[in-house]
Chains A and B, each alone.
Chain A
Amino acid sequence: MVFATVIIVGSFFLIVGTIVSKGFPALSWEMLSEIPSGDFYMGGEGGILNSILGSLYIAAGSSLLALIISVPIVIYINMYLKKSSWMGNLTRLGYDVLFGMPSIVYGAFGFTLMIYLGMRASLLGGIVTVTLLIIPIMVRTMDEVIRTVPKELFDASYSLGATRLETSRVVLKQVAPGILTAVLLAFGRGIGDVASVMFTAGFSNDIPKSLEDPASTLPLAVFNQLSSPVEEVQSRAYAAALVLTIVVLLISISARVLSKRLSKNKI
């Protein structure tokens, strides 16, 4: 037990420690507030604002899109299909398989789809691909949460003459904190993934102004800077990784606070 705790907590501090110690000295206001200049990756002026915003756009956009798609799916397989129906089980199996799929496969699929539709690498392409990537995470997480709702709560609503749709709303209220967790997990995956957006969102030194503009992302910025031969740029890569960590941490904390408020009425 103590050993396990030491390993987990130790590796956490090791990772965060490395990023902070290497990244913090290179972190500057310029880095957060400016877009990269032409020779940024060779040690030139500028920052990674384009990547920060690009990542946030993609993660937020795809989380929202995936939520809109996932909630009806989960409600349908839990409330409208009978228990242990083959359709529900097949759906769950499908999402389990998709869950384990490497993100580069999604990237390749998204890329094919975009070529077929005649699209260029763009913010929209990235959002759609990441949406596909995180839907299985959302569906499976929400599914597990809804399955923990006691059957009697469904019965209580049904026996008042509620329809399945009305009962679904009650169930969603009960599992609201769980749904938030699902969104958070998906957001975390979406913001940190590089393989799915590499081809689909493209790369740009500018902040995307519309859905059709290509967009850079933070993980990609880390990757590009780490592969630079210039030492200063390499240390900036750690700074970018630090920014990524802080963003995820902030989202995490605010989700916790929100989750507390959402579970006020939970039975």
Chain B
Amino acid sequence: MTFETPHISVQNLNLYYGANHALKNINIDIPNKKVTSFIGPSGCGKTTLLKTFNRLHDSSLEVRVEGKVLLDGENIYDKNAEVTSIRKKMGLLSQRPFPLPMSIYDNIAYGPRIHGERDRHKLDEIVERHLKDVALWPEVKDRLKSPASRLSIGQQQRLCLARGLAVNPEIILGDEPTSALDPKSTQKIEELFIELKEKYTIVLVTHILRQARRVSDYVAFINNGEIIEFAPTEELLLNPKQKLTQEYVKGFVS
């Protein structure tokens, strides 16, 4: 499946963990301002693929990446590509929320600060706006100076989302962002994704098929390091063409 102006375009991507060929010749276009989900069995490489988008594999010695990932047409694995500006374009939500060891306020202000924002009033405004974006403002507005670690885990995940939004990204990457959350917090995060896709391109890794169905526009099924099928959500989940996808969707492959 191709799109006219894909936000991210992966071309002939191969990734090796030492001798292990973890991603095999991946080609996929991620559409602009839509939610795209990666589904697949554990260890199939969906998180690995997600992390190639903001070059989070850079610090491991064993990982070798070949091929191209084009972000707005530019290869992020180009020698001259500046990794911090690539990462700034993408907010990341990990499986468990990891607030920075600072206050609630400083967690949100951290990103803008490292990118040069020093003005107190502007920072106040940014913090308030993004906490409102994730519907956390009413719960924390009286204790912005208290440590982020005191929040509940669901609140922490929304804080992490707000922290990512505060650097004005274009893309949100979610690596099973609700796997540590209770149903209510999960629902809140999912609602946020649906709201946020107006403004952002969202890529989600999930192993919950119902979640993929609830929030995403497109779904890619990955198995054993290969993209088996990529299609609009309903089509892939209800009417898959490939045999492997059919088996997975029906629950045969776990």
A119 vs B209: C-alpha distance when bound (angstroms)? 74
B30: chain A residues within 8 A (beta carbon): none
**Besides A161-B87, A174-B101, 13 new A-B residue pairs in contact (Cβ under 8 A), listed by A number:** A82-B59, A154-B59, A157-B100, A159-B92, A160-B87, A160-B114, A162-B84, A162-B110, A162-B111, A173-B101, A265-B147, A266-B147, A266-B149
Residues from chain A with a CB closer than 8 A to the CB of B102 are 170, 173, 265
Majority SS of interface residues in chain B?
Answer: mixed
Does A39 make an interface contact (CB < 8 A)? no
Query: Does the CB pair B99–A267 fall under 8 Å?
Result: yes
- Interchain CB contact under 8 A, B167 and A160: yes
The contact sample of 23 A-B pairs, CB cut-off 8 A, is A83-B59, A152-B94, A153-B98, A153-B101, A154-B59, A155-B56, A156-B94, A157-B110, A158-B56, A158-B87, A159-B54, A159-B164, A160-B110, A160-B163, A160-B164, A161-B88, A170-B102, A170-B110, A173-B101, A174-B101, A265-B147, A267-B101, A267-B148
Q: Which residues on B are within 8 Å of A, measured CB to CB?
A: 54, 56, 59-61, 84-85, 87-88, 90-92, 94-96, 98-103, 110-111, 114-115, 147-149, 160, 163-164, 167, 173
In the complex, A83 Cα to B61 Cα: how many Å? 6
Residues of A within 8 A of B (CB): 82-85, 150, 152-163, 166, 170, 173-174, 264-267
| Nearest-CB residue, chain A, relative to B51 | A155
**B61 and A265 form a contact (CB under 8 A):** no
The chain B residue sitting closest to A175, CB to CB, is B101
* Assembly CA distance A153 to B59 (angstroms): 14
Residues in A with CB closer than 8 Å to B115 are 161
Query: Is the pair B100, A153 in contact by a Cβ cutoff of 8 Å?
Result: yes
Give A85 Cβ to nearest chain B Cβ, in Å.
6
Bound form: Cα–Cα A157–B88 in Å: 10
Smallest beta-carbon distance A162→chain B, Å: 5
Q: Whole-angstrom distance between the alpha carbons of A230 and B188 in the complex?
A: 80
* Chain B residue nearest in CB terms to A163: B84
Q: How far is the CA of A199 from the CA of B242 in the complex (A)?
A: 80
Q: How far is the CB of A159 from chain B (nearest CB, A)?
A: 4
Q: In this complex, what residue of B is CB-closest to A164?
A: B59
CA distance A161 to B88 in the complex (A): 4
Q: Is the CB of B98 within 8 A of A264?
A: no
**Quick check: B94 and A161 within 8 Å, CB to CB?**
no
Closest 5 CB pairs of A and B: A161-B88, A159-B92, A82-B61, A160-B111, A174-B101
Q: B160 to chain A: which residues have CB within 8 Å?
A: 156
